[in-house]
Structure 1
Amino acid sequence: MNRIVYSIEGKELRTIELDDAVFGLPVNEDVIWYAINNELANERLGTACTKDRSEVHGSNTKPYKQKGTGRARRGDKKSPLLVGGGIIFGPKPRDFSYRMPKKAKRLAMKSILSLKAQTDLLKVIEDFSVQSGKTKDLAKILQNFGAPERTVLILKDDDEMLKRAARNIPWLTYLSYNRLRAHDLFYGRRVILMEGAAKALSEFYASSEEAEAAV
């Protein structure tokens, strides 16, 4: 798959061949859904907590005698049937996270990248950095690629100055090529891929598959 490489001014420079094993696969919607839900589940805190009748503070004595009042039989004021009593089957702190198979996760990322490439939502730009670390300098570059909208910038390395500049742009998410997130990548309306990151992605997934085959 051939793609045009743009300069930071938005001008066409050259073409690059993207690896079909990463950017040209059939889109697997099921594994994408699985990966997104896995990330959302792993982010849940699971801190909701309620008290059952054994944890509610109160007396254990009967509020009134068993017979002769014409009222319902009550054991104590902590009964779940009374206001201020315990909660029946209420939530308790729990861990919602779970691990997703590595092969499935890699397939999900490659499916999303293929989806973006096939729908022309992916643009490849030359490698650049923001030496000043200022948000306004990065914003000027991004303006050359369209109006502000939910954008994902895939980096070729951990550029601290570039990350500092991107931190204050609310509609921009930056990801390293080897630490992609399915949720951000899938819902991004525009994906800007650095030229170096495109090559690194091909090598990263190729090396991962070779390692799995060796095992």
Structure 2
Amino acid sequence: MSQVMRRVSFPDAGVCEGVDLSSFLEAEPSSSLAMMHRCLVCLRANKRQRSACSLTRSEVSHSGKKPHPQKGTGRARQGSLASPQYRGGGVVFGPRGVKSLAKVNKKERRASLKGALLDRLSSGACAIGVDLGAGMERPKTSLVCSFLEKLSFSKGKVLVLFDQKEDVLLQDSGWSRYSCFQKSAANLSSVRVLFFSQINLQDVLSARGIVFSEAAFLACSRFLEGGAVA
């Protein structure tokens, strides 16, 4: 378990003085694996669109005419062209687009996110980018790609977190640190750039590495100490 999180400069990934995490990691865990699993299942279930909805025989548009006489034809009796066996008829046991949302208590959701963040911090899969996104006059994918490669995270998704205060346009470039970095990483399928206030449990668990800006790590520290995410 790593007690110190590394700080690296942007864009050369030079090593700076680390941050002591002992005050966070020595605290008793506030969540369990069962709670995190329940929150993750509910989160993924609520992301489903559930827009597929088929028509039953009572809902399809058809005339009320009887297909053929009841008797005398030798065929089975039929009462409506809306029956499922006819082309254009209703669907049996099709999807109905049920809008059912799974509910998770706010305390459980916060505790699970806190537990996931502490797990990533203790595993050494996190870093703080000093002046992250600074000095970029325009979006440049190669610069961001080389910076992330120097962090030597294991192959997988990388989550880059900024604070909303950093989404302020700079007068000399017309870009903010967040928008410039986010645009630079748009072509990198394994990199996701978000505000810290936007993350959820799935974002943290699916990331092999997390890069914080200095302001985002301060927001994370406040959250781990019991504050709000935003």
1:59-208 → structure 2 map (5 Å cutoff): 59-130=63-134, 131-132=136-137, 133-146=139-152, 149-157=156-164, 158=167, 159-208=178-227
**Structure 1 CA distance for aligned equivalents of residues 4 and 51 of structure 2:** 48
Q: State TM-score, norm by structure 2.
A: 0.76
Shift, 1:86, TM fit? 0.4
| Counterpart position of 2:56 | 52
Identity of aligned residues (%): 24
Shift, 1:152, TM fit? 0.8
| Counterpart position of 1:35 | 39
Greater alpha carbon shift after TM alignment, 4-13 vs 24-33: 24-33
**Structure 1 CA distance for aligned equivalents of residues 93 and 149 of structure 2:** 53
Shift, 1:79, TM fit? 0.8
**What is the CA deviation profile of residues 111-153 of structure 1, one whole-angstrom value per residue up to 9, with x for unaligned ones?**
1112222333223332422432322222221121127631111
* 8 Å Cα contact 1:44-1:96 kept in structure 2: no
1:59–1:23 Cα change, 3 Å = farther
* 8 Å Cα contact 1:23-1:114 kept in structure 2: no
**Structure 1 CA distance for aligned equivalents of residues 107 and 118 of structure 2:** 16
**Structure 2 CA distance for aligned equivalents of residues 141 and 169 of structure 1:** 13
Structure 2 residue runs of 5 or longer lacking an equivalent are: 168-177
1:183–1:22 Cα change, 3 Å = farther
**What is the CA deviation profile of residues 153-185 of structure 1, one whole-angstrom value per residue up to 9, with x for unaligned ones?**
122334222222222322101122222122222
- Pairs aligned (count): 209
Greater alpha carbon shift after TM alignment, 119-128 vs 167-176: 119-128
1:59–1:156 Cα change, 3 Å = closer
Aligned-residue Cα RMSD (Å) equals 2.8
| Counterpart position of 1:2 | 4
Greater alpha carbon shift after TM alignment, 20-29 vs 173-182: 20-29
**Structure 2 CA distance for aligned equivalents of residues 38 and 47 of structure 1:** 18
* 8 Å Cα contact 2:161-2:210 kept in structure 1: yes
1:169–1:5 Cα change, 3 Å = same
Structure 1 residue runs of 5 or longer lacking an equivalent are: 210-215
